[in-house]
A and B are shown apart, each in its own frame.
Chain A
């Protein structure tokens, strides 16, 4: 009874804060929780008139029945893994480097420049990269040729196209993704650095012994949450950059589902694919969180 009264008192005391919080709550309810109930159409045949019909695992079977589904699945995992492995550390490194810049104007200028690509759509970015990487007339190949190197058909080479995805993702998102780390670094107490300076620590030692441990919880949280989107290898990016020459090496679950399902109005198939990806993402989040707690003592919750 004491607890209930205490809860009531706290809610009443902070009633205006709760009121401000209501739109956020409504947003998550409407856009993130109510749609979970809609995911049941993965197990139904959608009827335009009347009630939907129960279809069991029919749409999952259709999803997995392609003779190339395993390849599509592996392409998704490969592209996502490459992005996480090669891209994930870069915004952290960038935040460290920006933290070392003394000139505020230079720092702000660089930050504005690197945030900009985040606001470009993949249609535009694909156009830029296709133009830059054309063989032999693209700017990159002209530079290679100038130094006497062989030109590379980046966009049509099966051994290069996935790297084009990684590099273009880095170009687009490195600045934007570094914001969180820069904010975390700015929250570190300056007294720690002052004390370390008095003790004779170098800049590198300060970065490794103070900055890195201080933002480690942020890094771990972001990493675990990113794993929730592991199966989203980037529909917009792949769809706009893929071509016939490399289609079998870059076709991911989302592009595959778009072709055989959504393009034909089969929403159940798209939902089945989304559910499949969501379950894998949830499993990855939970298992990584558990592993992280065991190893570092830090987790998402």
Chain B
């Protein structure tokens, strides 16, 4: 029996060693500093990623005047946030870490470096960071994310827009008139759809109705926009669009892919997309399927006008490990990638694959559509050859012109169950009010229920921090 037990113990030890985590990697190779980077969908086994990293390594070494080794840490397949957390739990903490959620629990333990002093001392960062980036970093100084705000721009197919008069809508009434005319011209289709909620549409209409921020001022104190007077008016407007068949009656079960499919097959004529290259993709696919392009529309003008951009915190971005032996160098890498030289590599990709040089001009190849920046997308970077088509450029211009700061704040952990319950209550009422299952007068009942369920406590907290 002792032998059997010994064999079993050996099995456990052998299998246990399979699951033992690796320790921290050495930070120096022959006195050359090593910066280890972990990111989503990026790996040294991908030839494009490897070649891009080699280019960055050469450029960065010249930038800092010393040899530096950059390494991408390979991650197993699967949900990135989950795998990253497990890797960090195992004690393997790279120098530069990309987060897409799940960072707060880690920053609370002091593992992520406060980037405030680095950013304050960097002329490059001061130039490329937008106001909303700076506000987010003031609230949560552990993540740096240089990219356009993820606001959604309204786009309408060009032929339907022209049939409806071809005049750029400005006010809410203008939007309604345009959509009503499109519906009359194409009664078999809905005009506009969204993906499971009205989150995309809200970018165009929130400000116009008076929801100028996540927390709006009413009678001298802050009120959550979901229970504001402006929200009631907005939902009444959406309910009208729904009842007249202008808003797709299946928007609640529509996902992003079915939304696109509805646009390309003529089931709807207007959607909302992330400004920039995404609008170009919509435009090109619509051209392929229907032979027409898209027209980008500005946010509606009313009480306010603009795309609200939350200042709560970055929801994704780059963090530097507080345990890194090369913190300064790692930040310099982030800085370098935001310079003109860094952006050239980041935005155009690999020479002779994604672009070629004709004299001093950059000529994009067909593969250019398959390239995406691995680190930063600086909005203010002046690309020598335009990277986007007309639809993408127009959406980009609207974002630059109409982005409006939203002085929001992160919900603390102890209030997150309450916040979750309130969000669900709002979701269900919103759907029922829009579809007419509840009359709009029920909005007042919802507001009362929202406060009773815990909204009172959250509102008190909001007024104490804003």
Interface residues of A (CB under 8 A from B): 4, 7-8, 11, 18, 22, 25-26, 29-30, 34, 46-49, 62, 65-69, 130, 134-135, 137, 155-156, 243-248, 251, 256, 259-260, 262-267
Contact = CB atoms under 8 A, between A and B. Distances in A.
A248 B425 contact: yes
13 contacts: A7-B1, A8-B1, A22-B11, A30-B15, A66-B421, A67-B417, A137-B250, A247-B427, A260-B416, A260-B417, A260-B420, A264-B105, A265-B104
Contacts of B12: 26, 29, 34
Contacts of A25: 8, 11
A62 B417 contact: yes
B138 interface: no
A49 B253 contact: no
A26 B420 contact: no
B105 A266 contact: yes
Contacts of A62: 413-414, 417
B106 A48 contact: yes
Contacts of B266: none
Contacts, number: 116
Contacts of B252: 155-156, 243-245
Contacts of B7: 22
Contacts of A135: 249-250
B81 A265 contact: yes
Interface in B176-209: 196-197
Given A134-B253, A259-B420, A48 B88 contact: yes
B428 interface: yes
B424 interface: yes
Given A68-B421, A244-B197, A48 B109 contact: yes
B361 to A, nearest CB: 45
A270 B416 CA distance: 15
B432 A245 contact: yes
Interface in B322-361: 323
B445 to A, nearest CB: 15
A155 B416 CA distance: 28
B253 A155 contact: yes
Interface in B403-454: 413-414, 416-418, 420-421, 424-425, 427-428, 430-432, 435, 453-454
Nearest to B431: A245
Contacts of B387: none
A264 B104 CA distance: 7
A264 B410 CA distance: 13
A278 B389 CA distance: 55
A49 B431 contact: no
Interface in B363-415: 413-414
A156 B431 contact: yes
B4 interface: yes
B109 to A, nearest CB: 6
A37 B81 CA distance: 24
Given A7-B1, A155-B253, A263 B102 contact: yes
